[in-house]
Structure 1
Amino acid sequence: MKDHANAESERPEAVAIAAFLRCLESERRVSAYTVRNYGQALRRFADWLRKSDWAGDWGAVVPAQARGYLIESQQGLSRRTVHNHFSALRNFFQWRRERGATTNPLAGLTLPKLPKSLPKFLNEKQMKALLDAPMREMDNEAIEPFIAWRDRLMMELLYGAGLRVSELVALNYGSIDASGVARVLGKGQKERLCPIGRVALACMQKFKNEHATATDRDAPVLINEKGRRLSVRQVQLTLKRYLALAELPMDLSPHKLRHSYATHLLNHGADLRIVQELLGHASLSTTQIYTHVGVSRLQEAHKHAHPRA
């Protein structure tokens, strides 16, 4: 079994994929999740190519194969996933061009358009019900105070600071100053400042004083019962539990709390460019989708309230 795994890793296509992923990690400093997803996309394409007697030479891949793979991918994957997979492939072939390759089978390839959809988010009443859920559970003696305050802090940081879940689990006590501003490393290892808000700061102080096992600068803010750093998966599962308890949509993810954060900021008059900076978006166009949420709510209010609507 081990010999088979070694043989797989020594194939020419696998060697190239491994080199590309190492470059992503060491030079481009992308997140571990991007490296994992790009690796899965490239190996999936390689497996598909192998079905047609492909010998593993990336330079031998032709546009017709790329088009065929795109057509087949659309039968089993969502459009969003197809776009994500082909983003990985494009980056890979661009990386090869930078190292002297003369071909790019994806050149000129047109992907299916993505449906325009507004980000899902919780309104302020729903958000309050979710944030209150750990305390209600503790009052009902369903969970211990450690879990209640930890989980409340987790959600207050996601919503109060608009953190990505990867940024949340990486947060250390030394990353947050006395005024309640967190210094986080976002996508592309870009540093940004995130005010976490007085409520989240108070929750953190409560948890730190009464439940934390370590509070030095390098100690993680969010820990499990054994004092170890929470994982992304643990955060996702914990949120699902409180969504169910608060009778809220179960398809909401930690990232949707970030959507709620941005939407509520704009609804209360925050400047779009400030929100862009708080979210760590490289482009203002990425942030502008939240203005569409605000406009849709205005249109809905107009429709229900105006006699001529």
Structure 2
Amino acid sequence: MAQDPRGVAPLRQLRNVRALDEGRFVFEAMLSGWADQQSSRGLAERTIGSRELVIRRFEEFAGRYPWEWSPGDLEDYTTQAKSRQRPATPSTIRGYHSIIRLFCDYLTDPRYRWVADCEERFGSAPQQVCHEWNTLAHLVDYEGRPQRRALTYDEIEQFFTVADRRVETILQRGRKGALAALRDSQIFKMIYAYGLRRAEAVGLDVADLRPNGVAPRFGRFGAVDVRWGKGAQGSGPRRRSVLTIPELDWITEGLAQWIDHARPRFTAGSAGPLWLTERGTRVSLRYIDLRFAQLRDEAELPSELSVHALRHTYVTNLIEWGYAEKFVQDQVGHAYASTTAIYTSVGDDFKNRMINRALSRIYGGPHAEDSRP
């Protein structure tokens, strides 16, 4: 299709096209043009699709097309999202506002001529319906659920005890499933020992386990090459290398047991996915969630704890053990130190050690906490 001298495709201008349902036709063309713009910026298809879904839901709620939207439509939509049976969280609402704002920015950009086209066709033009008085401001660093936290040392030990005991119970009863139970235990131990996200753990291949020349004592398990890290701003997966740390060196023995003895029972190949099912396929995210919930309940731990709590625990423990914040940030793949900070919920022992060090530094003596100014 030939390009207009101003750089806008005739399909986007829609000046000479008349459809049976003109409003729907123009709206679909708007979404298509916005998708092209985002794709040109390098955003992932999944991100583009999820944004389009938000716009479609907003259009359906408003009952009008973008050239008829007003700030009041956004305010009504926000109120509805907050008042439903399961109210949307502040971060979710902010996400809605951000996406709608971006779409309106695209429509009102004169380089795409939607304002002129809509005025000519419908007698009204798109406007920016999001402004500082009707959108949710980002006032705090962390808006996640308060229940999301790190496990205590007792809780993490209790969880892994239940996971290991499950393997022994199946063996004692002579039932099938012991290898799968061993796999499940090792998956969760690895998620904790390397601070992985679920998708990062599921996406691992055997080849992603690598030695670390600086720490030869860990052998072939000195580092994990994470290839499916969480992207930012719609980009593709981000890669990082997570090093094995001495405090959690027990993970190397479990990985060796799985790779050398258990995994070959699922497949004859030495390469490919690290965590396999009995059918030889990669373990799914849904399976990880369901199995964690089952083990958590058997361990009688709080129901609000999720798989992601193991990652929180990893970050918290590394801080408690004295690792530098930059090292922790790199290990878990956070772009900003502030993101790592919201994962941290250090325990009372760590806090007391810090207080004692400060008291000793200021007042001196081995029993500084008893000193008086």
Same fold (TM over 0.5): yes
Instruction: Determine which structure has greater relative contact order: mean sequence separation of CA pairs < 8 Å that are 6+ residues apart, divided by chain length.
Output: 1
Go from structure 1 to structure 2 and tell me whether the alpha carbon gap of 1:273 and 1:148 turns closer, same or farther (over 3 Å shift): same
Q: How many Å separate the matches in 1 of 2:257 and 2:204?
A: 17
What is aligned with 1:149?
A: 182
Go from structure 1 to structure 2 and tell me whether the alpha carbon gap of 1:163 and 1:28 turns closer, same or farther (over 3 Å shift): farther
Identity %: 23
Tell me if 1:79 matches 2:89. Answer: yes
Tell me if 1:41 matches 2:49. Answer: no
- TM-aligned CA deviation for residue 214 of structure 1: 4.9
Query: 1:226-237, aligned counterparts within 5 Å?
Result: 226-237=279-290
Go from structure 1 to structure 2 and tell me whether the alpha carbon gap of 1:165 and 1:91 turns closer, same or farther (over 3 Å shift): farther
What is aligned with 2:100?
A: 89
Which of 157, 160, 164 is the matching residue for 1:135? 164
Q: How many Å separate the matches in 1 of 2:306 and 2:160?
A: 14
CA contact (8 A) 1:132 1:152 kept: no
Q: Structure 1: state its 5+ residue gaps.
A: 1-6
**Greater helix proportion:** 1
Q: Which amino acid aligns with 2:100?
A: L
Query: 1:193-208, aligned counterparts within 5 Å?
Result: 193-196=241-244, 198-208=249-259
CA displacement, residues 212-259 of structure 1 (integer Å, 9 cap, x when unaligned): 215444x11112221111111110001001001111112211111111
Go from structure 1 to structure 2 and tell me whether the alpha carbon gap of 1:242 and 1:276 turns closer, same or farther (over 3 Å shift): same
What is aligned with 1:4?
A: none
What is aligned with 1:246?
A: 299
What is aligned with 1:294?
A: 346
What is aligned with 2:331?
A: 278
CA contact (8 A) 2:195 2:331 kept: yes
Q: Structure 2: state its 5+ residue gaps.
A: 1-20, 116-126, 211-219, 232-236, 356-368
CA displacement, residues 131-157 of structure 1 (integer Å, 9 cap, x when unaligned): 222220121227632112110111012
Specify the SS of the correspondent of 1:150: helix
Which of 229, 233, 246 is the matching residue for 1:186? 229
- TM-aligned CA deviation for residue 160 of structure 1: 0.8
CA displacement, residues 29-64 of structure 1 (integer Å, 9 cap, x when unaligned): 5595x56654543332222122xxx1x4x3543322
Tell me if 1:269 matches 2:280. Answer: no
Tell me the TM-score normalised to structure 2 length. Answer: 0.66
What is aligned with 1:62?
A: 70
Go from structure 1 to structure 2 and tell me whether the alpha carbon gap of 1:249 and 1:300 turns closer, same or farther (over 3 Å shift): farther
Tell me if 1:126 matches 2:145. Answer: no
Q: Which amino acid aligns with 2:240?
A: R
RMSD after superposition: 3.4
What is aligned with 2:131?
A: 107
CA displacement, residues 198-217 of structure 1 (integer Å, 9 cap, x when unaligned): 33332222122223215444
- TM-aligned CA deviation for residue 123 of structure 1: 0.9
Q: Which amino acid aligns with 2:89?
A: R
Of structures 1 and 2, the larger Rg is shown by 2
Segment of structure 1 superposing worse, 124-133 or 238-247: 124-133
- How many residue pairs are counted as aligned between the two chains? 288
Specify the SS of the correspondent of 2:346: helix
Q: How many Å separate the matches in 2 of 1:221 and 1:26?
A: 35
